[in-house]
Structure 1
Amino acid sequence: MTTTTYELTWDLDVFFEGGSSSKEFHTYLENIEKELESFKTLVSEMSVPQSASEKEGLSAAIDAFTAVSKKIRQSGAFVSCLQAQDMYDKKATALYGKIMQLSAGLQTVLTGLDQKLVSVEETVWKQLLSEAPFDELAYILEERRTRANEKLSPEQETLINSLGIDGYHAWGQLYNTVVGNIKIPFEENGEVKELSAGQASNKFASSDRDTRKRMFEAWTKAWEEQADYISSSLNHLGGYRLNVYKARGWEDIHKEPLDINRMSKETLETMWDVITEHKGAFVEYLDRKAQLLGLEKLSWYDLGAPIAKTESKVSYQEGCEFILDQFSKFGKELTDFTRVSFEDRWIEAEDRAGKRPGGFCTSFPESNQSRIFMTYSGTPSNVSTLAHELGHAFHQHAMSGVHTLNRNYAMNVAETASTFAEMIVADASVKHAKTEDERLALLEDKIQRSVAFYMNIHARFIFETAFYEERRNGIVSAERLNELMEQAQKEAYCDALSEYEPQFWASKMHFYLTQVPFYNFPYTFGYLFSLGIYAQAIEEGTDYEEKYIALLKDTASMKVEDLAQKHLGIDLTKRDFWEKAVKLSVKDVEEFLELTK
Structure 2
Amino acid sequence: MAKSATSRTAKTSSRKSSSAKSAPRKVVPGKAKAGKTAATAGRKASAKPAKLPEWNLTDLYPAIDAPEVAADLDRLDAECTSFEADFKGRLAEETAKDGGALWLAGAVKRYEAIEDLAGRLGSYAGLVHAGDSVDPVKSKFYGDVSERLTAASVHLLFFTLELNRVDNAVLERAMQTPELGHYRPWIEDLRKDKPYQLEDRIEQLFHEKSQTGYGAFNRLFDQTISSLRFKVGAKELAIEPTLNLMQDRAPAKRKAAAEALAKTFKANERTFALITNTLAKDKEISDRWRGFEDVADSRHLANRVEREVVDALVASVRAAYPKLSHRYYKLKAGWFKKKKLPYWDRNAPLPFAATGTIAWPEARNMVLTAYKAFSPEMAQIAERFFNDRWIDAPVRPGKAPGAFSHPTTPSAHPYVLMNYQGKPRDVMTLAHELGHGVHQVLAAKNGALMAPTPLTLAETASVFGEMLTFRRLLAQTKDRKQRQALLAGKVEDMINTVVRQIAFYSFERAIHTERRSGELTAQRIGEIWLSVQGESLGPAIEIKPGYESFWMYIPHFIHSPFYVYAYAFGDCLVNSLYAVYEHAQEGFAERYLAMLAAGGTKHYSELLAPFGLDAKNPSFWDGGLSVIAGMIDELEAMG
Confirm or deny that 1:396 pairs with 2:428.
no
Name 2:578's counterpart in structure 1.
534
Q: State which of 596, 617, 626 in structure 2 corresponds to 1:583.
A: 626
Confirm or deny that 1:74 pairs with 2:120.
yes
Pairs within 5 Å for 1:348-427: 348-427=392-471
Deviation (angstroms), 1:216: 0.2
Name 1:10's counterpart in structure 2.
55
What per-residue deviation string (whole Å, max 9, x for no partner) do you get for residues 425-465 of structure 1? 11222222253332222211101111112321112111110
1:108–1:157 contact (8 Å) kept in structure 2: no
Pairs within 5 Å for 1:191-340: 192-282=234-324, 283-309=326-352, 310-340=354-384
Confirm or deny that 1:505 pairs with 2:551.
yes
Q: Secondary structure at the match of 1:170?
A: helix
Name 1:145's counterpart in structure 2.
191
Confirm or deny that 1:447 pairs with 2:485.
no
Q: For 2:98 and 2:574, how far apart are their aligned partners in 1? A: 41
Confirm or deny that 1:171 pairs with 2:171.
no
What per-residue deviation string (whole Å, max 9, x for no partner) do you get for residues 380-436 of structure 1? 100000010000000011113223311121111110100000111112222222533
Q: For 2:153 and 2:307, how far apart are their aligned partners in 1? A: 27
Deviation (angstroms), 1:288: 0.9
Q: State which of 612, 615, 619 in structure 2 corresponds to 1:572.
A: 615
Identical columns (%): 24
Q: For 1:289 and 1:259, how far apart are their aligned partners in 2? A: 39
Q: Secondary structure at the match of 1:447?
A: helix
Cα 1:580–1:184 shift into 2, 3 Å: same
Cα 1:571–1:540 shift into 2, 3 Å: closer
Q: State which of 487, 510, 513 in structure 1 corresponds to 2:531.
A: 487
Q: Secondary structure at the match of 1:180?
A: helix
Deviation (angstroms), 1:530: 1.7
Name 2:4's counterpart in structure 1.
none
1:331–1:542 contact (8 Å) kept in structure 2: no
2:116–2:409 contact (8 Å) kept in structure 1: yes
Q: Secondary structure at the match of 2:62?
A: coil
Q: Which runs of 5+ in 2 are unaligned?
A: 1-29, 32-49
Name 2:24's counterpart in structure 1.
none
Deviation (angstroms), 1:292: 1.0
**Residue identity opposite 1:30 in structure 2:** D
Deviation (angstroms), 1:281: 2.5
Cα 1:434–1:375 shift into 2, 3 Å: farther
Deviation (angstroms), 1:542: 6.8
Confirm or deny that 1:22 pairs with 2:76.
no
Q: State which of 35, 54, 71 in structure 1 corresponds to 2:100.
A: 54
CA RMSD, aligned part only?
Answer: 2.1
2:498–2:568 contact (8 Å) kept in structure 1: yes
Q: For 2:294 and 2:480, how far apart are their aligned partners in 1? A: 50
Confirm or deny that 1:100 pairs with 2:156.
no
Deviation (angstroms), 1:146: 3.4
What per-residue deviation string (whole Å, max 9, x for no partner) do you get for residues 190-221 of structure 1? xx222111111111111211111110000111
Deviation (angstroms), 1:265: 1.1
Using the size of structure 2 for normalisation, the TM-score is 0.88
Confirm or deny that 1:181 pairs with 2:223.
no
Q: Secondary structure at the match of 1:361?
A: strand
**Residue identity opposite 1:281 in structure 2:** K
Q: State which of 87, 90, 93 in structure 2 corresponds to 1:43.
A: 87
Q: For 2:432 and 2:91, how far apart are their aligned partners in 1? A: 46
Deviates more, 1:268-277 or 1:392-401: 268-277
What per-residue deviation string (whole Å, max 9, x for no partner) do you get for residues 316-353 of structure 1? 01110111111111011111112221111111111333
Deviates more, 1:445-454 or 1:26-35: 26-35
**Residue identity opposite 2:529 in structure 1:** M
What per-residue deviation string (whole Å, max 9, x for no partner) do you get for residues 123-143 of structure 1? 112112222222232232122
Confirm or deny that 1:554 pairs with 2:598.
yes
Relative contact order (C-alpha < 8 Å, sep 6+): which is higher? Answer: 2
Deviation (angstroms), 1:496: 4.0
Q: For 1:6 and 1:194, how far apart are their aligned partners in 2? A: 23
Cα 1:108–1:443 shift into 2, 3 Å: same
Cα 1:200–1:553 shift into 2, 3 Å: same
Cα 1:7–1:211 shift into 2, 3 Å: closer
Name 2:563's counterpart in structure 1.
519
Q: Secondary structure at the match of 1:274?
A: helix
Deviates more, 1:20-29 or 1:138-147: 20-29
2:54–2:393 contact (8 Å) kept in structure 1: yes
Deviates more, 1:362-371 or 1:476-485: 362-371
Q: For 2:146 and 2:495, how far apart are their aligned partners in 1? A: 36
Cα 1:437–1:79 shift into 2, 3 Å: farther
Cα 1:45–1:272 shift into 2, 3 Å: closer
2:198–2:290 contact (8 Å) kept in structure 1: yes
Cα 1:327–1:366 shift into 2, 3 Å: closer
1:182–1:196 contact (8 Å) kept in structure 2: yes
Deviates more, 1:375-384 or 1:47-56: 47-56
2:80–2:153 contact (8 Å) kept in structure 1: no
Deviates more, 1:287-296 or 1:83-92: 83-92
Cα 1:47–1:357 shift into 2, 3 Å: closer
Deviates more, 1:408-417 or 1:38-47: 38-47
1:308–1:438 contact (8 Å) kept in structure 2: no
Using the size of structure 1 for normalisation, the TM-score is 0.93
